[in-house]
Structure 1
């Protein structure tokens, strides 16, 4: 089994576990990003309060709306990304060694090369998996609605058996329903809504992995100076992954909000200020009607969710890679250790 395939499968496994742990936070965050109150903002609730509101009015299942396609998307995204990342990374390392033989550089992959490798891998990932994430966004933002009643609380004649406060959710609304709704609305091209800001968003994993590998290399060099041959632990990888994701999220969050706005269902007959024709139109309308604040809605929730997810992903991926190499070689493979002196 190739090293690229091992990393791809490990990335998919780590992504699934991270997704299961943090999915309710992701659902709440997507709803925060797509809130489009312009003049009168509703009373702001904290992340935990919003989760409680969803459970109270819509049920526990709505916190996990779209979980099925999201897990498929996570496995596909992480698998595709890590697979191509490892392939391009190997090529970059070979090129660096060739340059060293020619008397240029020290043989290590530089920061710019690492950034380019991550960016190319991210572009391939976006083009292949964007349709899955459009469907996931639709399902996360789908809300159960209260049954309307006549003035005075009276029910309509056909709905006398349903309490005025009953929550009604089309039983057919699932992955298939979301796909059909999206196709009816925009055709095949609808599955690539938000692809432009998403393509730009490849800078997020680029920055993330650049920071992660920079921090990891510095830690490895420090450990190499020790005489006990100690390696980097899973807990340390957890914190390195969290720190790298934190830096990348703060920089690229506005693009994430624009992407969510474009992928969420738009009410054609609604307020024109809430309808976006494309990426540029969305950005201009958000600036005009919501100000810069609109680009950072729900960032606190996103930081908690993405940092936790990334940290878990890195930790699990590294463990899976080490386990796979151990099984394939029938012997321990050093976990980023220096040789005993």
Structure 2
């Protein structure tokens, strides 16, 4: 197995572990991002209750199925994304290192990969990942926000019935019967096939690439993340090598965890507004209620969010995202490094046995 494939497999496995652990936070965060709150409403109405209380509310009203709605395609998407990303990242990284060594032989540079090269490597791997996996994340977003959208639809129907009643079209028991019928219809999470049919019915094949523009721009997120991570890891390893006489050789799993958290925190804060725009484009537009909070594309979304919600609309649920993404990235990096170490150990052991025989 090549180094690139080993890193791809390890990245996929680590991504799955991180996804399962942090998925409830991701579900709540997606709902926070797609909730449209007009600027006239106070911030408390926009932020709602705390993340923990929101998780408990979903558990009470929807059960574990609500928190883990869309988990299956999400796990598949995580495995595919991490596998694709790490595979191409390692390929491009290896190429960049070969180029850096060649430059050193020609008397240019010190043989190490520069900051710009790290950014380019991460951006190329990220772009390929986005183009190949965007349909999966459209379905995941739909499944995570389906109940939220259905409740908005029910609210609109209730308002319409009350409007009719005020105009004397519906009176007395007839109105009460219709309201009772509406209240008795409770939304439930739906499956991947249902979500795919809904997306196709709304916009055809192109619907599966909704939000692709902000998502492609967001490839700078892992670029920033991996730049911080790789540079920090390099400095730490150099420090370990300098202190080798004291017995400090390898970077520990806890240190990798901390470096992953630092890297993801910096990337998340920088690119969060793009993530909110992407989620809103991918979710069912009924969440927006009236037409002023529904979007036809990236530019339309940005303009309407600035007009009706202000700057804070771009940071809906950011605290939840920071907790979820930083923790997930930390787990991912830690598990990936341990899986790669295990592969290298087993591979070395197998080679020694072959040499002996």
Q: TM-score, normalised by structure 1?
A: 0.90
C-alpha distance in 2 between matches for 1:223 and 1:182: 52
The within-5 A match list for 1:298-317 is 298-317=317-336
Rate the CA distance shift 1:292–1:158 in 2: closer, same or farther, 3 A. closer
**SS of 1:242 mapped into structure 2:** helix
C-alpha distance in 1 between matches for 2:140 and 2:239: 42
What residue number does 2:261 align with?
A: 242
C-alpha distance in 1 between matches for 2:51 and 2:24: 10
What residue number does 2:345 align with?
A: 326
What residue number does 1:339 align with?
A: none
1:254 lines up with 2:273 in the alignment: yes
Deviation string for 1:71-116 (max 9, x for gaps)?
0000000000000000000000000000000000110001110010
The two structures, once aligned, show a CA RMSD in angstroms of 2.4
What residue number does 2:130 align with?
A: 126
1:225 lines up with 2:242 in the alignment: yes
User: 2:36·2:287 contact (CA, 8 Å) conserved in 1?
Assistant: no
229-238 or 141-150: bigger deviation: 141-150
State the 1:169 CA deviation. 2.6
Rate the CA distance shift 1:9–1:107 in 2: closer, same or farther, 3 A. same
The within-5 A match list for 1:95-244 is 95-143=99-147, 145=151, 154-156=176-178, 166=184, 168-169=186-187, 173-226=190-243, 227=245, 228-244=247-263
What residue number does 1:267 align with?
A: 286
State the 1:231 CA deviation. 1.2
Deviation string for 1:159-198 (max 9, x for gaps)?
5xxxx86562357x21100000000000000000000000
Deviation string for 1:117-171 (max 9, x for gaps)?
0000000000000000000000000116479999789545995xxxx86562357
Rate the CA distance shift 1:65–1:88 in 2: closer, same or farther, 3 A. same
State the 1:33 CA deviation. 0.3
C-alpha distance in 2 between matches for 1:53 and 1:294: 23
Deviation string for 1:51-76 (max 9, x for gaps)?
11112222221000100000000000
**SS of 1:232 mapped into structure 2:** coil
C-alpha distance in 1 between matches for 2:292 and 2:351: 60
C-alpha distance in 2 between matches for 1:215 and 1:167: 53
Displaced runs of 4+ in structure 1, greater than 3 A?
144-159, 164-167
User: 1:58·1:167 contact (CA, 8 Å) conserved in 2?
Assistant: no
What residue number does 1:64 align with?
A: 68
State the 1:274 CA deviation. 1.3
Rate the CA distance shift 1:157–1:200 in 2: closer, same or farther, 3 A. closer
What residue number does 2:52 align with?
A: 48
State the 1:49 CA deviation. 0.9
**SS of 1:49 mapped into structure 2:** helix
C-alpha distance in 1 between matches for 2:304 and 2:333: 37
User: 2:288·2:294 contact (CA, 8 Å) conserved in 1?
Assistant: no
In our comparison, the structure showing a higher alpha carbon Rg is: 2
Q: TM-score, normalised by structure 2?
A: 0.87
Equivalent pairs counted in the alignment come to 328
User: 1:257·1:296 contact (CA, 8 Å) conserved in 2?
Assistant: yes
User: 1:97·1:107 contact (CA, 8 Å) conserved in 2?
Assistant: yes
User: 1:326·1:332 contact (CA, 8 Å) conserved in 2?
Assistant: no
C-alpha distance in 1 between matches for 2:146 and 2:338: 36
Rate the CA distance shift 1:224–1:37 in 2: closer, same or farther, 3 A. same
C-alpha distance in 1 between matches for 2:270 and 2:186: 39
**SS of 2:249 mapped into structure 1:** coil
Rate the CA distance shift 1:269–1:261 in 2: closer, same or farther, 3 A. closer
Unaligned runs of 5+ in 2: 162-171, 353-357
1:29 lines up with 2:29 in the alignment: yes
**SS of 1:330 mapped into structure 2:** helix
